[in-house]
Structure 1
Amino acid sequence: MIRWLRRHSIDLGPLRSSRAFTLIFWGRLVSIAGIGVLSTAIPLQVYALTGSSVHVALVATVMGLAGFAGALSGGLMADRLDRRKIILAARGSAIAGFALLAVNAFAAEPMLAAFHVAAAVDGLAGGISATALSATVPRTVEPTQLPAASALMAISMDLGMVLTPALGGLLYAVIGPGWLYLWVIAASLASMALLWGLPELQPGIDEQAAADPQIRQAGTLGAIRRTCAQAWADTREGMAYVARDRVVGPIMLLGFIQLLCASPYVLIPEFAERQLGLGPEAAGLLYSAPAAGALLASLSSGWTGRVRPAGRVLLVVLCASSLGVLALGLTSSLPLALAAMALTGVGDVLAEIFRYAIIAGRTPDRLLGRVSAVWSAQGTVGDTLGGPLLSLLAKVLGPGGAIAAGGALAAGLSAVVVLSARELRALRIESETPEEIIVPEADPSFRGADGP
């Protein structure tokens, strides 16, 4: 039994061997503990002010569009500048958006426009930070530890989200949203304090840039002042790599489909009220349930590092996630709805583990920022388009019908993509040596006396 548990429980190796990864893990966990409250408070407050899921979706759309811009610009910066500085600057900027939400919530008459402004600020900052962080992780661990690192990054998300959305729904009904936004600010400051301890994280060498004497002489200021034409050329290079690679491209498309069709979160307040006949507390539980399922899956994810036919496994877990969304839309029972959302979380996190490990292992370090940007962008675009589409569909089919239709469509389209992508189906995960890795032995300061 003990042997079985060791083989299947999550691999904590990256936390033991890399101080940099440990700081990223805990910094992200603390940040998400605040974001989990935010993910409940904003839709509940907007729905309470307007009584419309369309307005909830529009705020999400603004955040998604800003996140798209942040992901693309963050990808360019992450491949040119110190990624540590980018992460800290972006997270500091996001606090301004959280402060605006807090001031607005305590006002006698909260303004809907404030949500759109805050969503734009936080989406842009979040897109930049997430892209830089995603590009950083592969350089802090050994190549063979990428699946384990991916699972631990998923766990940092799950631990942060498993209780805080439910707590946010409960506290929203008791103390109101203003104090919840103050909690988000406090969590963001604590996260920045942890990430401050990261070492300098310069990107891998861009051979073309290194060969250009003008760029070489310009240094950091020259990189910032690069023309829009050059920036567009850099972006095109990352997009071309994604489009050209017959494994990375389909993986990106699968993520887009999932978020476009099977992301029911903008409908949760309306679903809880109309189909379940319950209030903010139930909505908070529904927001937390995917993280609970994902947490259980992540804790038992030790087997993922030994899986070789990754494409086939991706099909199974994505279909499981889509079927969970379908089941959610068909039920009017809170326990069954929570179980369906938990199943969705299981599928989502397992798919994320495999997708991240494959992409990080196949992509050269000098392109990781831009490829991470495309990954973040496809997610934000899918979520941005999917939210309004589902909210409009809910006017015809009701919230449950719209959710069920989206889950069924996502399962079907995902199957089509995987079945048509021969190289992805045949893919076997193998260890590769990246261009440059930051490991504890390279810098003694990365290791404490007893590990992390």
Structure 2
Amino acid sequence: MDRVSPPLDTAPPTRSHLIDLAPLRESPAFAKLWVGNSISGVGAQMTIVAVGLHIYQITGSTFAVSLVGAFALLPMIVFGLYGGMLADAFDRRLVLLVAAIVAWASTITLAALAWTGVEVVWPFYLLTTVNAVAATVIGTVRSAVLPRLLPPRLLPAAAALSGASFGVMVTVGPAIAGVLVATVGFGWTYTVDVLLFLSAFLGIAALPRLAPEGDIHRPGLESLRYGLAFLRTAPNIRMSFVVDTIAMTFGQPRVLFPAAGALVLGGGPVTVGVLTAAGALGALLSSLLSGRVGHRRWHGREITNAILTYGAFIVGFGVVLAILGLGLFGQVAGSVGSPNIAAIVVASVMLAGAGAADNVSSIFRQTMLQTAVPDNMRGRLQGVFTVVVTGGPRVGDIFVGVVAAIGALWLPPLLGGLLILSLLLAVTRLQRGFLRYDALTPTP
């Protein structure tokens, strides 16, 4: 019979609001994997920002930047699902190692293109697609590994630590990328990522052998069918995917940042780095104050409230851009192109609030998936989860690019935030059982 993880009520009481470091103390393998992923992730976020700036420099088009997500979307969906099947069929450590090699090779090639001065766009689309596919497989397998390294009572704390590392990645990485691109160029920016990625291999090498448990299905349509059949019987897991898809589809304004830095807020690449880092800083702060998340019972309610908060902050970001774009209060700081410090600060606060809310939602969604799903299905369900959390923003990039092309820069976040609020209220009204999900008796 498939084994479902026990409930979370075995965790000892936690009085502090500060992040719980127990997973790092109790599992050396988890600690090394976490450190390696955190360091390599800084470089990965640098490359994400650098590619957007690079394509915008070549084309001058926000829509061209959004196509990075469009081209990568279908391969990410396919390999997110396939990566989950691989995680349920083979040694998860080996799968991680192969995917990491592919990701590293694609970054090396990006650096080579920059150093040789290639100004053709299609190789950047191809290589970022390969990199995104490898990252999707890595994310899927790594999440499926955690319940094998940690007891269930520490999984919420592990999710919070993952949020903290993501916050560091997307705070430090884009800020460094903005400075490096503006000072030494794209070649050095990609090269730094190549060097930082070496730490990922050290974390993977520290893992024990992680052979699959329970019934094993060879990767293919039959394995996928078993996973999807389980998902049809898991309304809470299904609903967690739906609400996050809504948030990521309509609340991802990142492809606007290059144009916002050049045309509205001013400051160019440095502003792009600041805006990208703001959301991650919010995620980092919320993780640092996550000490008691392991004792929150009603995860469905927590997820819903967090995503509603996220939508409200995205609306606020759209309002900031609209005020400047429409000139409602005049030009606050000089001509277009010079940094408007006041507007950048307010916009960053809105994005930080959105990042904090998204991180809270992620902590509870990850915990729900890792405790309510049996181990021999966890890889495939993590595959679907990874497709949602990585593919959703790619769809969001397309939404933002299209709406911005036919409207104005401020329209996508303003419209998208309002859609998040209205759609989330509608779907949770239809699926009220999600709001009653109890972590003490986790049911998929």
| TM-score normalised per structure 2 | 0.89
Matched, 1:382 2:395: no
Q: Determine the C-alpha separation between the residues in 1 that align with 2:98 and 2:201.
A: 9
| 1:135 aligned partner | 144
Distance 1:431 1:172 in 2: 50
Structure-to-structure mapping, 1:50-69, within 5 angstroms: 50-69=59-78
Following superposition, the deviation at residue 16 of structure 1 comes to: 0.8
Q: Does 1:275 align with 2:264?
A: yes
Counterpart of 1:154 in structure 2 is 163
CA separation in 2, counterparts of 1:184 and 1:60? 20
Mapped pair 1:232 → 2:221: yes
- Runs of 4 or more above 4 Å deviation: none
Q: How does 1:395-406 map to 2 (within 5 A)?
A: 395-406=405-416
Deviation, 1:56, is: 0.7
Within the candidate set 301, 305, 313, 1:316 is matched to: 305
Q: 2:175 maps to what in 1?
A: 166
Relative distance call for 1:5 and 1:240 in structure 2 (3 A) is: closer
Tell me, in whole angstroms, the C-alpha distance in 2 between the residues paired with 1:71 and 1:185.
Answer: 23
Please say if residues 285 and 338 of structure 1, whose CA atoms lie closer than 8 Å, have aligned partners that are also in contact.
yes
Amino acid at match of 2:362: E
> How many Å apart are 1:108 and its aligned residue?
3.1
- 1:254 maps to a residue whose letter is V
1:326 aligns with 2:326: no
Structure 2: distance between partners of 1:375 and 1:136: 14
Query: Which has the larger helix fraction?
Result: 1
RMSD: 1.9
Deviation string, structure 1 residues 360-400 (Cα, Å, up to 9, x no partner): 11000000000000111123332232211211100232111
CA apart distance, 1:5: 9.1
Match in the other structure for 1:372: 382
How many equivalent pairs are there? 411
Conserved in 2, the CA contact under 8 Å of 1:103 and 1:178?
Answer: yes
Deviation at 1:6, TM superposition (A): 4.3
Q: How does 1:74-113 map to 2 (within 5 A)?
A: 74-113=83-122
Matches for 1:192-207 after TM superposition, within 5 Å = 192-206=201-215
User: What secondary structure does 1:8 align onto?
Assistant: coil
Percentage of matched positions with identical amino acids: 30
Aligned residue number for residue 285 of structure 1? 274
Tell me whether 1:257 sits opposite 2:246 in the alignment: yes
The residue that corresponds to 1:176 in the other structure is 185
Give 2:431's aligned amino acid. A
Unmatched segments (≥5 aa) in structure 2: 1-12, 325-342
8 Å Cα contact 2:37/2:203 also seen in 1 = no
Match of 1:347 among 354, 357, 365: 357
Within 1, Cα distance between the matches of 2:123 and 2:49?
Answer: 17
Kept in 2, the 8 Å contact 1:68–1:377? The answer is yes
Matched residue SS, 1:104? helix
Q: Distance in 1 between matches of 2:135 and 2:117?
A: 29
Q: Please give the alpha-carbon distance, in whole angstroms, between the structure 2 residues aligned to 1:263 and 1:236.
A: 31
In 2, Cα distance between equivalents of 1:296 and 1:145: 20
Which amino acid counterpart does residue 63 of structure 1 have in structure 2? A
Equivalent residue letter for 2:75? A
Shift of 1:94: 0.8
Q: Would the aligned equivalents of 1:269 and 1:280 in 2 still touch at CA under 8 Å?
A: yes
- The Cα of 1:138 is off from its aligned counterpart by 1.3
Taking the aligned partners of 2:422 and 2:134, their CA distance within structure 1 comes to 34
Instruction: Write the deviation string for residues 237-288 of structure 1: whole angstroms up to 9, x where unpaired.
Output: 2122223211001100011111111111111111222221331100100010
Paired with 1:427 and 1:43, the residues of 2 have a C-alpha distance of: 39
- In structure 2, distance between residues paired with 1:310 and 1:336: 31
8 Å contact kept, 2:279–2:352 = yes
C-alpha separation in 2, matches of 1:378 and 1:165: 23
Q: Structure 1 16/432 Cα, relative in aligned 2: closer, same or farther at 3 Å?
A: farther
Cα separation, 1, equivalents of 2:155 and 2:368 = 9
Counterparts in 2 of 1:153 and 1:235: CA distance versus 1, 3 Å: same
Name the structure 2 match of 1:420. 430
* 8 Å contact kept, 1:28–1:157: no
- Give distance in 2, aligned partners of 1:404 and 1:122: 31
Q: What secondary structure does 2:209 align onto?
A: coil
Distance 2:264 2:213 in 1: 51
1:19 is the counterpart of 2:8: no
Q: Structure 2 CA distance, aligned partners of 1:251 and 1:422? A: 12
Deviation at 1:133, TM superposition (A): 0.6
Distance in 2 (alpha carbons) for counterparts of 1:27 and 1:108: 31
